[in-house]
């Protein structure tokens, strides 16, 4: 297995053409289905099992739902001409939520509903809109809306990859 780069330490190269927004929006649109497929049929003891102190599969799902408001808020800020996007508030909400006691179907529905709102916003935009930008507060660089879509799609894939890893670790014999 290749060494992992923690999410908060990932380098970002955001120099691709703005016209890639079409593909990136499709990645965002497809995440709920991919996530649902990944957890379908998993027994609760596999979904809720932690690997040491790291989140369980179900906690990763809950985290994705917890943070799904943020890309929409940031996209709206970019479109409104804000200079700096809203900052991430950390993972305390996920840590406090007790997602392992929640109904996984409800977590998945929540994520899907919020993602549909984001995609609906993005679907109505022009290529020029995707070229608009604002400062990302943690990464400390200006991100175009297309970059924000890439950033979010990568965040999705980061958690989907972690879920795959946990499934391999805890798969029933």
Per-residue pLDDT tens for 109-126?
Answer: 999 999 999 999 999 999
Q: How far apart are the first and last CA of the chain?
A: 21
pLDDT exceeds 60 at position 3: no
Considering Cα of 161, then 165, then 171, then 173, what sign does the dihedral take? positive
For residues 161 and 67, the answer to whether their CB atoms sit within 8 Å is no
pLDDT tens-digit series, residues 13-46: 898 999 999 999 999 999 999 999 999 999 999 9
Mean pLDDT, range 40-62, rounded to an integer: 94
- Longest CA–CA span in the chain (Å) reads 54
Please report the domains of the chain, with CATH numbers, ordered by start residue. 18-170 (1.20.120.450)
Tokens 């604002």 locate to 134
Which residue has 């900052």 as its token pair? 87
The pTM for the full model equals 0.92
Residue 173: pLDDT band by 50, 70, 90 thresholds? low
**Helix, strand, coil % (nearest 5) of the chain?**
65, 5, 30
Q: Contacts by 160-169 with C-beta closer than 8 Å and gap 24+?
A: 160/31, 160/34, 160/35, 160/38, 162/54, 162/55, 162/60, 163/35, 163/38, 163/39, 163/57, 163/60, 163/61, 164/38, 166/49, 166/51, 166/56, 166/57, 166/60, 167/38, 167/42, 167/46, 167/57, 169/51
pLDDT in tens, 122-165: 999 999 999 999 999 999 999 999 999 999 999 999 999 999 99
pLDDT at 4: 78
Give the residue among 168, 159, 171 at the shortest CA–CA distance from 54. Answer: 159
Give the dihedral sign, CA 27/32/38/44: positive
Res. 56: pLDDT tops 50: yes
């Amino acid at each position: 297995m290749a060494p992992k780069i923690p999410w908060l330490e990932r380098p970002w190269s955001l120099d691709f053409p703005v016209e890639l927004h079409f593909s990136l929006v499709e990645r965002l649109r497809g995440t709920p289905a991919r996530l649902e497929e990944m957890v379908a049929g998993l027994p609760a003891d596999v979904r809720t099992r932690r690997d040491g102190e790291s989140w369980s599969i179900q906690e990763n799902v809950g985290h994705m739902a917890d943070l799904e408001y943020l890309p929409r808020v940031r996209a709206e800020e970019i479109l409104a001409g804000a200079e700096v996007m809203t900052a991430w508030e950390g993972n305390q909400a996920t840590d406090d939520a007790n997602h392992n006691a929640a109904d996984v179907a409800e977590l998945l529905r929540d994520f899907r509903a919020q993602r549909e709102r984001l995609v609906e916003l993005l679907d109505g935009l022009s290529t020029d809109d995707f070229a608009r930008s604002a400062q990302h507060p943690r990464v400390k660089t200006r991100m175009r809306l297309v970059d924000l879509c890439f950033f979010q799609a990568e965040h999705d894939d980061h958690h989907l990859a972690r879920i795959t890893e946990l499934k391999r670790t805890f798969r029933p014999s």
